[in-house]
Amino acid sequence: MNDEKFQKFAINLSQLLGDTEDIQDVYIKCMEVWKKQRDFFTKLDTSKLLKTVIYIYSYRETGNFELAQKILNNLFFAGLFVPSGNKHEETCDECSGNGDITCDYCNGNGTVGCDECDESGKVTCDECDGDNVDGAGDDCDQCNGHGKLTCSNCAGDGYVQCGECNGNGTEICSTCEGNGEVESEDDQITTYQICSWDKNLKDWCELQEGTKTPIMSMEQFVRFDKYVLYLEQNDEDHAYFANNPPEEDMVYCSVFKDEPRLFLKSDMTIHISFDGSDINW
């Protein structure tokens, strides 16, 4: 696909997006189109999909593709992380994230043995005291001479609803109090995979790549939003920082690359592969 055809493709795709505000908005709305026409877009090279986003942004901003060419000439990719200072929430081991556990009292059955009849479903007739006959020696009218009556407590089943779990067979997990998650010992960080074309940001990322020195504060970093495309964002826990905590709300660059490998994830987001060194300290 030559530049002329590629530009026409970008313009046609642009018409499907509706109003867009910035390059991040273009990316998000492009993903919506990609998902709807997955069979077509998964056949395109991922780098061309990213190039399409940039071309659409340029066309929307300036009415031509000169800005796109400038962006592509200066484009770099980086893996960043920002410590929040909070502890990471992780799945509760006790309940496997369900928020409830098997009731110990009924073993998950929801019923327990009836104490009134010892699980037999029958109780001794109180009229004849189990002797089968009345005072005159005739068959007892109440139990028809059987000496036993159906247990009224369990209606003859021998089992009654478990009072601990109200018959559910489960009870709220006391470890996580039903949330399914518990606070871990590890610090939570937010990781970002970005591409940008800002020269100053490029220099800072390249200089501090893989070091314990932040490139800037998050407050300063958001000022570059016009020149940054966030390809992916995740909240993660990194045990590495437990004994070596970085500064909160500061931006660190874990990896920098001019030409990494790009591929589409199942949710049609573009993922960056830094040769196996993805955000990994």
What's residue 281's pLDDT?
A: 43
> 112 in helix, strand or coil?
strand
What's residue 128's pLDDT?
A: 78
What is the rounded distance in angstroms from the CA atom of residue 10 to the CA atom of residue 3?
A: 10
pTM of the predicted model as reported, rounded to 2 decimal places: 0.63
What's residue 244's pLDDT?
A: 58
Please report, for the chain, the start and end positions of each structural domain, with discontinuous segments joined by +.
Answer: 1-74, 76-89+186-281, 100-172
Token couple for 217: 């504060």
pLDDT tens digit string along 47-75? 999 999 999 999 999 999 999 999 999 99
- DSSP bridge partners of 256: 78
Nearest to 75 by CA among 258, 276, 261, 262: 258
What's residue 7's pLDDT?
A: 86
What's residue 237's pLDDT?
A: 53
What's residue 147's pLDDT?
A: 82
What's residue 247's pLDDT?
A: 77
What's residue 270's pLDDT?
A: 93
Chunk the chain into consecutive blocks of 10 residues (it has 281) and report each block's average pLDDT, rounded to whole numbers.
Answer: 82 86 93 92 92 94 93 94 72 86 90 90 83 72 82 89 89 87 72 94 93 90 94 69 67 90 91 65 43
Determine the distance from the C-alpha atom of residue 155 to the mean position of all C-alpha atoms in its chain, rounded to a whole number.
47
Axis crossing angle, helix 66-74 with helix 46-62, rounded to the nearest 10: 130
Place of tokens 């470890």: 175
Dihedral sign for Cα atoms in the order 253, 250, 24, 279: positive
